[in-house]
Amino acid sequence: MLIINVKEEESIDRALKRYKRKFQKTGLLKEIRRRKNFTKPSVERRNQVLNAVYREKNYS
Burial of 15 (0-12, 13-18, 19+ CB in 10 A): middle
pLDDT of residue 1: 80
Q: pTM here?
A: 0.56
- Give the pLDDT band of residue 40 (cuts 50, 70, 90): very high
* Cα separation values, 13 from 4, 16, 23, 25, 29, Å: 12, 5, 15, 18, 21
- pLDDT, mean of residues 8-23: 93
